[in-house]
């Protein structure tokens, strides 16, 4: 890769800025509902602290749009981090400024200071030069462990690296890149790609790239209905992107004779998206005009599971239905369990897919759970991720 890993860098006594992605989901009570991203970056944080580095952690949370909003404070993350590390993690009042600098100057080796939300400053997302320099001035060593933000050219992921001599990747970042590379460079066959989620338009680049890589592509979720509509099926009130029908036809034609491109054969339908609504199971040919498809049906689960269990490599992004609602979760959970039972090297990326394997209780049986939904998709598309490129230094 031409990128230094954090354990290849002198850390003792150094001020070490670690860009993490602790953009975790919070409920209405401001409680963390899934701390996967925090847990997976702990090895990097522990290593730098244990090596005598003065750890400066930085992340964003939510979309405060450049304003200091209390509901987007990283305070609950600092509390969870303290518990996980069994070590006090202080939260700074800001991410730049004199008070932050004074706090850093007073740090001892191994101590951890967590900077407040980077996105409280509009300059972060704009990758503004003076803000990048201000962040860079806080440290002597830069470590990027935020794969989930690697597709963003922001001040903390790209800009500040220009003003720091020693830059490196954390353990999570390296694991993400190496694991996803297995799905791109000579993956073991049969290779099964599984795509779900709402829209074809969100996954066009991924589909196009996977058509040249996979043996079988399984498509579920809302995006399947644009493809089914393109094939001439009536799909009732199910989600359809009318402006993507022609492209969907083109993709189906491109797949012919080359790979298996499998769409759902049957569906869990409802009169409306409501827990109390009437429900049923129908085949493609019998979707009522005024009902909506909200999950894949049992025959689709059986066929998809057979393909998954025959695989040697699996990449999955996106749920098979509205899995947040219990009556429409079974297809997604069945796919999660099939991926877990498979002996293939499996990669699961995207917040909903990761939530599904966690809720299905099979996360420990997945080869690699990616912390970056958008980043993992862009990587699989074959795009250059600016946050990774910024770690490549000459010499």
Q: Give CA–CA dist 284/308, Å, rounded.
A: 22
Residue showing tokens 């951890």: 112
Q: Give CA–CA dist 267/193, Å, rounded.
A: 20
List the beta bridge partners of residue 345.
313
CA nearest to 60, candidates 23, 88, 92, 106: 23
Q: Give CA–CA dist 163/142, Å, rounded.
A: 10
Contact between 228 and 235 under an 8 Å Cβ cutoff? The reply is yes
Contact between 287 and 224 under an 8 Å Cβ cutoff? The reply is no
Q: Give CA–CA dist 300/240, Å, rounded.
A: 20
Q: Give CA–CA dist 353/358, Å, rounded.
A: 9
Starting at the edge strand found earlier in the chain, the sheet holding 15-19 runs: 90-91, 112-114, 54-58, 15-19, 141-144, 166-169
Crossing angle of helices 36-50 and 171-182, in 10° steps, is 130
Structure tokens at 215: 């043996």
Q: CA-CA distances (angstroms) from residue 166 to 134, 143, 388?
A: 16, 9, 14
Crossing angle of helices 171-182 and 373-381, in 10° steps, is 40
* Residues that are catalytic: 37, 199, 351, 374
CA nearest to 138, candidates 120, 123, 153, 155: 155
**Burial of 101: CB neighbours in 10 Å, binned 0-12, 13-18, 19+:** middle
- Helix H or strand E segment including 206: helix 204-210
CA nearest to 205, candidates 326, 32, 378: 378
């Amino acid at each position: 890769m031409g990128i230094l890993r954090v354990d290849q860098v002198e850390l003792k006594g150094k001020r070490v800025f670690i860009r993490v992605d602790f953009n975790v989901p919070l409920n209405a009570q401001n409680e963390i509902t899934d701390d996967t991203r925090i847990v997976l970056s702990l090895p990097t944080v522990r290593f730098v602290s244990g090596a005598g580095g003065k750890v400066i952690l930085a992340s964003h949370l939510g979309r405060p749009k450049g304003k200091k909003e209390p509901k987007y404070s990283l305070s609950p993350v600092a509390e969870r981090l303290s518990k996980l590390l069994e070590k006090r993690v202080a939260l700074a009042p800001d991410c730049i400024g004199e008070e932050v600098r004074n706090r850093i100057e007073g740090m001892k080796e191994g101590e951890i200071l967590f900077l407040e939300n980077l996105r409280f400053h509009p300059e972060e997302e704009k990758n503004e030069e003076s803000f990048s320099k201000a962040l860079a001035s806080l440290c002597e060593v830069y470590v990027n462990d935020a794969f989930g933000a690697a597709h963003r050219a922001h001040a903390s992921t790209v800009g500040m690296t220009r003003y720091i001599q020693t830059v490196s990747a954390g353990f999570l970042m390296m694991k993400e890149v190496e694991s996803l590379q297995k799905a791109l460079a000579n993956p073991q066959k049969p290779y099964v790609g599984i795509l779900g989620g709402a829209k074809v338009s969100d996954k066009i680049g991924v589909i196009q790239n996977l058509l040249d890589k996979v043996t079988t592509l399984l498509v579920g979720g809302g995006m399947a209905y644009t493809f089914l509509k393109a094939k001439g099926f009536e799909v009732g009130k199910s989600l359809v992107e009318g402006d993507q029908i022609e492209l969907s036809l083109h993709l189906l034609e491109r797949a012919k004779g080359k790979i298996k491109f499998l769409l759902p054969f049957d569906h869990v339908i409802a009169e409306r998206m409501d827990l109390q609504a009437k429900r049923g199971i129908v085949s493609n040919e019998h979707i009522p005009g005024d009902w909506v498809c909200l999950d894949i049906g049992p025959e689709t689960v059986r066929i998809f599971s057979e393909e998954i269990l025959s695989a040697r490599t699996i990449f999955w992004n996106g749920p098979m239905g509205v899995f947040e609602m219990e009556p429409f979760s079974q297809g997604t959970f069945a796919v999660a369990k099939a991926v877990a039972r498979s002996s293939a090297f499996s990669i699961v990326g995207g917040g909903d897919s990761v939530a599904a394997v966690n809720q299905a209780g099979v996360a420990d049986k997945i080869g690699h759970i990616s912390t970056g939904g958008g980043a993992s998709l862009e990587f699989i598309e074959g795009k250059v991720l600016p946050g990774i490129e910024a770690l490549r230094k000459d010499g």
